[in-house]
Amino acid sequence: MPRTAEELLVGIVERLAPDPTANPLVPRIAKGTADRAVLATLALEQGLVIPADRRAFLHLAQRAGDRPRTAAFFTTLAEGEDLAAGHLTAFARACGVTEARTAAYEPLPGCQTYPAHVAWLALNADPTDALLALTANFSAWGGYCATIAEALRTHYGFKDEACAFFDFFAEPSPDLDGMARTAVEAAIDSVDEKRATTYGRLLQHYESQFWKSLAA
């Protein structure tokens, strides 16, 4: 029996749920034992990830021009990255990151494999397959952000403005979930579930590599 869009989305999120041991840093942040210098590096790395992902999402929206619902999903993601970038500035400032430090910063290769793969998806993947893969990853990322937002307030004394970046990604988005579902429904005949799962598995690996590189 053909699978529904809801079944495809739920199934891929469940299959690609991260191993609890895959992220060595977020548990340390949750306990307040991560050094503040690591938080500053997180801010600097995200300062490179956010604009890269934004451009990738816009390219996926352009490539999905014959699928307006998929294009709308990626356009919304790109708009969200714009909002996140503004919130990230407050977090970086709270971590003591200056403009001079940002300009001089050399990124960690392991932290930049994730946006590199998102860019690869933007160039090579079927947009709806990429949507499925990214949706699975967003589920894990949102959980990490919720944990970090609480820890920043509890253990590091950060104000709401400095936590807003993580609050933004931690908050569920029923509208975005609905857009993903309708996009998959409209293109369900062209979805390659195996390929989308492979893309998502790679994204989860690179997500884990991001956190391990920061922890090291």
- Listed by start position, the domains of the chain span 22-215
Predicted confidence at residue 2, as pLDDT, reads 55
Predicted confidence at residue 148, as pLDDT, reads 97
- When the pLDDT of each residue in the chain is averaged and rounded to a whole number, the result is 94
Q: The pTM is what?
A: 0.94
H/E segment holding residue 37? helix 36-63
Predicted confidence at residue 20, as pLDDT, reads 75
The Cβ of residue 201 has, within 10 Å, a number of other Cβ atoms equal to 16
Predicted confidence at residue 1, as pLDDT, reads 40
Mean pLDDT on 98-125: 97
Predicted confidence at residue 19, as pLDDT, reads 81
User: Any idea which of 15-19, 33-37, 104-108, 116-120 has the lowest mean pLDDT?
Assistant: 15-19
H/E segment holding residue 163? helix 160-170
Q: Return the structure tokens found at 114.
A: 């994730």
pLDDT digit string, tens, across residues 155-211: 999 999 999 999 999 988 889 999 999 999 999 988 999 999 999 999 999 999 999
Predicted confidence at residue 158, as pLDDT, reads 97
- Confidence class of residue 140 from pLDDT cuts 50, 70 and 90? confident
- Confidence class of residue 133 from pLDDT cuts 50, 70 and 90? very high
Please say if the pLDDT value at position 90 is more than 50.
yes
Please say if the pLDDT value at position 33 is more than 70.
yes
Q: What is the residue-wise DSSP string for 179-210?
A: HHHHHHHHTGGG--HHHHHHHHHHHHHHHHHH
Mean pLDDT on 11-23: 85
The dotted CATH code for 22-215 is: 1.20.910.10
Mean pLDDT on 15-23: 83
Provide the 3-class DSSP secondary structure of residue 173: coil
- For residues 152 and 29, give the distance between their C-alpha atoms in angstroms, rounded to a whole number: 8
